[in-house]
Amino acid sequence: MLRHLTLAAALLACLQHQSQARAQAQLPEPVAQLLALNGMTPDALSVLVLRGDQVVVAHLAERPMQPASTMKLVTTLVSLEQLGPVFRGRTELLTNGELDNQGVLQGDLVLRGGADADLSGEVLVNMLRALQLAGIKRIAGNLVLDRSLFQPARTDVNVPPFDESPEAYYNVIPDALLVNKNMLQLDMRSTDKRLRLDMQPALAGVTVTSNMTLVDADCASWESGWKLPQTVRTADGIKLVLQGTYPKNCARTNSINVLERDDYIDGLFRLTWKQLGGKFTGKTLTGTAPLDARLLAEHRARALPEVVRDTNKPSDNALARTLFLSLGSLEADPLLGSRPLPPLADQTTYARADGAIRSWMRAHAIDDSGFVIENGSGLSRIERISPLQMGALLRAGLRSNWAPEFLASMPIAAMDGTMRRRLNGSPAAGRARLKTGTLRNVVAVAGYVPDANGVQNVVVAMVNDERAGEGRGRAVVDALVDWVARSGVVAPAATQP
């Protein structure tokens, strides 16, 4: 640890004493050229490239930047380190009611959330089948939804939309009891005169109808006529009304998050329980499990390394946000996978998660000055981290006990995840492991790039500029990665005797 402290301090001192002119001069020529070609100044870019203990490139590396989804590396590495590889979220069905000899549960049924990343309609079916096997045929009480693991339990309520697509999956704000990520899949098939709709999963009391106008347009551009659907409550239930225009003779699917999540679970539970032959006439309420509640059924999510992989490869915001909040609400349990942290008065789950990450950073000699984390996913206008901080985190990732799991979660250049279509033809293809980040004015990469000698380099690059979009920022950071992959001196082949 002392060596790590000394190295970090020396690197920081070196960077702080570099003049801006020298730092700009350190930018590789292909990178500097692309910045100029795309109308961006060197101030738009912050870079750090480390080869072992050597600083290869350092350009404004101590400056906090918007990282976009590269922030997921912070959330996932700290989760692996703090929660461990056997950590699992879980969902429980509980009651303190008694079961009579007619198969009637005389009391409420509690569905308690435990940050289960895999909670789906199929999982709910299996849990309700377990109730049937226990002899329950009718539930005489209410269905109680317990989201109390996170405080506040519903951070999505009354939050202004992040952008113009609040219904999109990437904008889902998780809670501790999120079934199917609250998503509805709509199948939309049109002829010249009619639009046929289907909704999955089917929900009791929820129907979908259309006010869309059929137009002569290219099916490939159907999203240009899409508008946010309306949710209308009627005496018969909830009606989802589609708006906008839709091309004639077109078939597409779209997944949306528009239903209030209590309504979503209520409709899914009622229909599933009925299809299984059960009876339920109670209400669906928000509450907490009574202290004397006993466990009827449970589901455990996949182990943390699998969830981390599904977070970083496709850059899943909802999973990242769930892991971030888990750091503030759960701890590792060698037998169960996870258990709730003891409650602390007047401290939110966010504050505890933020504190857990900062404590980990300080324990690894990473100065957290200027570091800002809002939700752990990078889908934020206020999150900030410097390349120096990110580089130190990536170095710590190489020394981690869970380095194989961490590296395996990162997209491989030109092969998979968010890097599958990038750096084809570069020496980095199939070798570099890089987390990407993209917002309207942000393009970033962070990860590991082997150079021409096969030596692992830590690479962090962040472009923050209004002109970063339309591929311009991506070209800059990809040029840096390509330059690192080509750098170094290739040793001559050994002479054959």
Domain 90-155+263-301 has CATH 3.40.50.11540: no
* C-alpha closest to that of 353 among 382, 320, 381: 320
Q: Hey, what's the torsion of the CAs at 164, 167, 168, 170, to 10 degrees?
A: 90
pLDDT at 22: 43
**Within the chain, which residue ranges are assigned CATH 3.50.80.20?**
90-155+263-301
User: For helices 387-399 and 2-17, what crossing angle results, to 10°?
Assistant: 160
Global pTM value: 0.93
Question: Do residues 330 and 84 lie in contact, with contact meaning Cβ atoms separated by under 8 Å?
Answer: no
Question: Do residues 473 and 465 lie in contact, with contact meaning Cβ atoms separated by under 8 Å?
Answer: yes
Question: Do residues 284 and 142 lie in contact, with contact meaning Cβ atoms separated by under 8 Å?
Answer: yes
pLDDT along the chain (497 residues), means of 10: 49 48 67 96 97 94 98 98 96 97 97 98 98 96 97 94 96 98 97 96 97 96 96 94 97 97 98 97 97 97 98 98 97 87 87 98 98 98 98 98 98 98 98 98 98 97 97 98 87 41
| Fold (CATH) for 2-85+306-486 | Beta-lactamase (3.40.710)
**Environment class of residue 174 by beta-carbon count within 10 Å: exposed (0-12), middle (13-18) or buried (19+)?**
buried
Beta bridge partners of residue 251, listed in sequence order:
189
**Within the chain, which residue ranges are assigned CATH 3.40.710.10?**
2-85+306-486
